Amino acid sequence: MAETLRLESWVTAREALRHRDLRQGLYDEGRALMDGVIVNLHGAPHTDRRRLENRLFRRDTFAYWERELIPVLLEESLAIHREDTSEIDIVPVVRHAMLRLAASVAGLDIGSDTSDFLRLAGLMARLSAASTVVHATGDKAAIIADGLAALDEVRAVYLAPAWDRREALIRDVRAGHRPESDLPRDVLTVLLAAREEHGLPSEVIEREVAYFPWVGSHSTSIALVHALHHCFEHDAEKPGVLHTLVDEPELLQRFVHESLRLHPASPQSVRRAVTDGQLPTGDRFAAGDTVVIDMVAANRDKTVFGDDADRFDPSRTIAEGVAPWGLTFGSGFHACLGQELAGGLPPGQSEGDRLLGAITVMISTLLERGARRSSTRPPVPDDRTTRPTWRTYHVVFEDRFDEQGKTR
Ligand code: HEM
C-alpha cells in the first residue's frame, strides 16, 4: 500500500525537491487545469518545456522592468483601486500590478480597458483556486468546475485573439515578410512556434498560457503583503524604520527575503515516487508513495537558520550555499522561473544592474508614497484556503496623498 513520507528538515526537503524519481504531486487534484503545464511535467518533457521558456526569463529584461515598468504598473493599479475613502486594500492593488506583467509574459494582449482587465483578474482568481484545490477548505468539485468554466472564458475572450495574432506573425516571419524581432517575447509565441517540432497539443498550450498570469501575480502579491506586514510590525517596534527602508533598498530587500523565508507560497510541496528510491539522507520511498515536504518547517530548520529561526530577523547571518529566502522558490529542476523577477538577487550576485526584485521595488514605491497600516480597518486573514494569506490589508497614504486620494 502506498505510504506517505513527511519531511521537515532543510536537508531532506531540498534533496526531495531535487530528486529525479519524485514527480510533482501538488496538482493531482487540480489536474483538469494543470495537465501538461510545466510545473506538473516530469523528466524529459519537463526539461524540453523548460528549455523553451527559459529564454524569456532574462536578467536584462528583469532589470528593465524593475526600473521602467513595475513602478508605473503599481501607480496605474493604485489609481484603479482608489476608492472614495483614503483607505486602500493593498491586496488587489499589488496583485493586479503583477497580473499585468505576468499576463504579458504569458502572451495575453491586455488593452487599456479597465473593466476588461478586471474581468481577467476575476477569471485568474478562479483558475488559481481550482488549480491549487488541494489546499481549498470549500467544496472541491464545485471549485474545479468553476475553474474549468473560467478557462473556457479565458480561451474565448483573451486567448483566441492573442493566438490568431501570433500565428499570423509567425507565418509572416517564416515566409520572410517580417524580421524575427517582430515576434512578441512571450510564452504563447514560444509555444506556438515550437508546437509541431515539440508535439504540443492546443489544450496544453492553452493551459500553460492560462497558468502564467495567476502563478506570477498571486504568489508575488501574497509574498509582498507578508513582507509589508513585517515592515509595519518592525516600524511599530522601532519607529522610523519605514523611512530607513525607503532610503536603503538593499535593507528593504533583506526584509523581503527574510519574510519570504518565513512565508513560503505553498506551506507544503507534494511529490509522488515514480519508482522505488532513496534520498541521499537515507529516507526510502517506494513507487507510488507520496512525499510531503513541509516548506515552513524546512525554512525554519534551526540547524540551518539558528535557534531563533522562527523569528523575523532581517540581519540574520545566512550560511553559505543557503538562499536567504530558504526553499520558498523551490530547488532543482522545478525551481521558480520567476524567482529573480519577484525576489531579485542577493547582494553580490547581480552583474551590471542590481536586481532588487518586483516585491522590493513595489514596497519601496508604496512606502515612498507614505503607505501606513490602517488603524481602523485591521488586516483580515484568508480562511478560504489553508495557504496562509491575507484576504484584505488596508493601508492609508499619510504624507503623499491629498484629500481626494490623488498623489501630490
Ligand atoms: C514571490 C513570488 C513567487 C514564489 C514564492 C514562487 C514560488 C515557486 C515555487 C516554490 C516553485 C516550484 C514549485 C515546485 O517545486 O513544486 C515555482 C515554480 C514556478 N514559478 Fe514561481 N514563484 C513566484 C513568482 C513567480 C513569477 C513572478 C513567475 C512568472 C511570471 C513564476 C513562474 C513560475 C513557473 C513557470 C514555475 C514552474 C517551473 C518549473 O516547473 O520548471 N513564479 N514558483
Kindly give the number of the ligand 1 atom that is closest to the alpha carbon of 270. Answer: 16
Q: Could you tell me the distance, in angstroms and rounded to a whole number, from the CA of residue 237 to the centre of ligand 1?
A: 33
Mutate to test the pocket of ligand 1, among 41, 215, 271, 296 (most ligand atoms within 8 A of CB): 215
Task: Tell me the pLDDT band of 82, cut-offs 50, 70 and 90.
Answer: confident
| Closest C-alpha among 273, 300, 301 to residue 287 | 273
Which domains are present in the chain? 4-397 (1.10.630.10)
Query: What DSSP element (H or E) covers 226?
Result: helix 202-237
Residue 290, classed as helix, strand or coil, is strand
What average pLDDT does the segment 253-279 reach? 95
Prediction pTM value: 0.94
Q: Is the pLDDT of residue 69 over 70?
A: yes
Angle 335-149-210 (CA atoms, 0-180°, nearest 5)?
30
Query: Distance from the CA of 398 to the center of ligand 1, in angstroms?
Result: 34
User: What average pLDDT does this structure show over 360-381?
Assistant: 94
SS3 at position 141: helix
Ligand 1 center from residue 393 Cα (angstroms): 24
Instruction: Please tell me the distance from the alpha carbon of residue 346 to that of residue 18, in angstroms, as a whole number.
Output: 22
pLDDT at 407 (0 to 100): 46
Provide the pLDDT for residue 312. 97
Give 229 Cα–ligand 1 centroid separation in angstroms: 22
Candidates 40, 336, 341, 389: which one to mutate for ligand 1, based on the most atoms within 8 Å of Cβ? 336
CA separation for the pair 222, 387 (Å, rounded): 10
Average pLDDT over residues 360-383: 93
Question: Does 246 score more than 70 pLDDT?
Answer: yes
* 11-25, 141-155, 307-321, 382-396, range with the lowest pLDDT: 382-396
Question: What value does the CA radius of gyration of the chain take, rounded to a whole number of Å?
Answer: 21
- Work out the burial of residue 346: count CB atoms within 10 Å of its CB; fewer than 13 is exposed, 13-18 middle, 19 or more buried: middle
Pocket of ligand 1 (CB under 6 A): 17, 24, 26, 38-39, 50, 102, 105, 212, 215-216, 219-220, 223, 265, 269, 328-330, 334, 336-338, 341-342
Which is higher by pLDDT, 408 or 250? 250
Q: Are 100 and 85 in contact (CB under 8 A)?
A: no
- Which of 94, 45, 52 lies closest to 73, judged by CA? 94
Q: How far is CA 235 from CA 231, 232, 241, in A?
A: 6, 5, 5
> Helix, strand, or coil here: 155?
helix
The distance of Cα 118 from the centroid of its chain, to the nearest Å, equals 19
**How many angstroms separate the alpha carbon of residue 336 from the centre of ligand 1?**
4
C-alpha grid cell for residue 10?
A: 532543510
Cell numbers for 392: 484584505
Distance of CA 36 to the CA centre of its chain: 19
DSSP per-residue codes, 369-396? TTEEE-SSS--EE--SBSS--EEE-EEE
CA distance 396 to 378: 12
